[in-house]
Structure 1
């Protein structure tokens, strides 16, 4: 099983970042929690954390994303921390995982989320 842990700091209030995460259609299904590929949300605490499991269709896949205020009380800043556990099934999944493509996709998606939120809205999917 592989574990990916990444974070990004976004210059925006936690409410806006949480809303963008839950509305973001371009995130991979395994990161959205509760959407696509049989994933199901296992815990949702608004503006704090979302956890999910891959369900019957993707056993071994699960994740959690947490949202943390950063900076002084009068500043708007949010750290998004993502932990994604994956279990490759089949040769293709093992190859993708072994070459680091899953990690790269997560990093790219978090960067796109940051850019979208900081420019004021969800832009076109990358």
Structure 2
């Protein structure tokens, strides 16, 4: 089983970052904690934490995202994913670090998205 832990600091208040996370479509719903390909939220504690399990379609896949107030206008998003590769292709992708790179890229895109919508953000 592989574990990926990444974080990003977003220049926006915690509540706004949480709201954006739950509705941000480019991040796969199974990373956001929403239902997709069988993923289901197992714990939702707005605006601090969302945990999920992959369910029957993604066995061995689970994760948690937490939101931490750094300052009144900065939030740290911490994402932890546990994945269990199935088959040769999944093992190769995981072994070469592509999954970790994808998570880093998705978090960077989320940060850019939120910071690009700054006029619409409210605490």
Global fold match (TM > 0.5): yes
Deviations 1:103-125 (A, max 9, x none): 0000000000100101117xxxx
Of residues 100, 104, 107, the one that matches 1:103 is: 100
Deviation at 1:15, TM superposition (A): 1.1
Q: Of Structure 1 and Structure 2, which has the larger fraction of its residues in helix?
A: 2
Let me know the Cα RMSD of the aligned residues: 1.0
The equivalent residue for 1:57 is 57
Q: TM-score normalised to the size of structure 1?
A: 0.90
Identify which range, 60-69 or 21-30, moves more after superposition: 21-30
3-state SS of paired residue (2:55): coil
CA separation in 1, counterparts of 2:34 and 2:24? Answer: 13
| Alignment correspondent of 2:69 | 69
Match of 1:112 in 2: 109
Q: Deviations over 1:37-75 (max 9, x none)?
A: 10000000011000000001111100000000002xxx3
Partner of 1:124: none
Aligned to 1:88: 85
- Off by >3 Å, runs of 4+ in structure 1: none
Q: For structure 1, which runs of at least 5 residues remain unmatched after alignment?
A: 122-126
Distance across 1 between alignment mates of 2:49 and 2:95: 28
Q: Return 5+ residue gaps in structure 2 as ranges.
A: 119-123
Alignment partners' CA distance in 1, 2:30 and 2:94: 14
